[in-house]
């Protein structure tokens, strides 16, 4: 699974965040895909429902993420794909403009 988005974002300004799920060794069962975001951040949609992905295939989905202002400029975004008794994840980092010491 891969998570991608911009390296630098502005609080209050939405940005696109993409997640690609690839079934490498076998079929990835159906599951729900959501983003684990810093406090006060939002994602639209909150969750994607993914069908099973057969081996050798990929599926990409997008979220619109709106960051909140915060004291720390560095933030982690985690994509979590979960099904019946299993989870998988991917992590990416972003820097917010306008945090303390940043402009």
Report how far apart, in Å, the C-alpha atoms of 74 and of each of 18, 78, 98 are: 19, 14, 11
* Pairing outcome for strands 2-4 and 15-22: antiparallel
Handedness of CA 6, 11, 14, 18 (dihedral sign): positive
With b for 16 or more beta-carbon neighbours within 10 A and e for fewer, the 7-32 pattern comes to eebeeeeeeebebebebeeeebeebe
pLDDT digits (tens, 9 = 90+) for 38-50: 999 999 999 999 9
pLDDT band at 69 (very low <50, low <70, confident <90, very high): confident
Instruction: Sketch out the chain's domains with CATH numbers.
Output: 2-96 (2.60.40.10)
| pTM for the structure as a whole | 0.89
pLDDT digits (tens, 9 = 90+) for 81-100: 999 999 999 999 999 986 54
């Amino acid at each position: 699974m891969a998570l991608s988005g911009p390296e630098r974002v502005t609080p209050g300004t939405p940005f696109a965040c993409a997640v690609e799920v690839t079934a490498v060794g076998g079929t990835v069962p159906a599951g729900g895909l959501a983003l684990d975001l810093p406090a006060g951040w939002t994602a639209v949609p909150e969750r994607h429902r993914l069908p099973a992905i057969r081996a050798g295939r990929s599926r990409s989905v997008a979220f619109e993420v709106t960051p909140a202002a915060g004291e720390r400029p560095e933030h982690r975004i985690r994509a979590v794909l979960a099904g019946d008794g299993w989870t998988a994840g991917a992590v990416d980092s972003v820097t917010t403009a306008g945090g303390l010491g940043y402009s």
